[in-house]
Structure 1
């Protein structure tokens, strides 16, 4: 339950959700090209990317003085599994489904 809350909390912020969407659309992006709506200062962008990195939703790679970001492998699957009502290994389902 703790991991689910951390994952959902990481994307609950509109800025971070927008960053996840942008990275999903482009695949990989240099931090210098990441855009947010509304635009935010670089230090705040770094903070939001750190939250996503700490949650395991994005990965980063330093290339010279720039850092490139991409969604972590399995990020969407982990988010989907964290949603309320998603099947869990302990879930037995409904008898009427049999």
Structure 2
């Protein structure tokens, strides 16, 4: 069963810009300035998306002088992949018996 944490995580990753940010952070830690350059998003818009990702536990921050670097929490994505992998393994195929209606 999908927990509220998983649902929040899925909502966070469902947005195209947030997913792009996650993909960029999978390669390296980046500050907001780098993410603005890479995505073309406005800084205020990007900050709001980063807040959603932080609250969902997908990214963590690291202050560095007057900048804040964002780092992907890869274990969160690993847990999500494990969850979906488990669903796929338990999934029914065409030869599985059906529950009778009635």
Return the TM-score normalized by structure 2: 0.74
* Matches of 1:79 and 1:52, distance apart in 2: 14
Query: Which runs of no fewer than 5 residues in structure 2 stay unpaired?
Result: 92-102
1:15 alignment partner in structure 2: 17
User: 4+ runs of 1 displaced by more than 4 Å?
Assistant: none
For the Cα contact (< 8 Å) 1:58–1:72, is it kept in 2?
A: yes
Higher RCO, 1 vs 2 (CA within 8 Å, ≥6 residues apart): 1
Call closer, same or farther: CA 1:7–1:82 in 2, change over 3 Å. Answer: farther
Tell me how far 1:79 sits from its aligned partner. Answer: 2.5
Query: Which runs of no fewer than 5 residues in structure 1 stay unpaired?
Result: none
Return the TM-score normalized by structure 1: 0.77
Tell me how far 1:82 sits from its aligned partner. Answer: 4.6
Aligned length: 87
| Structure label with greater radius of gyration | 2
Which structure dedicates a bigger proportion of its chain to helix? 2
Tell me how far 1:73 sits from its aligned partner. Answer: 4.3
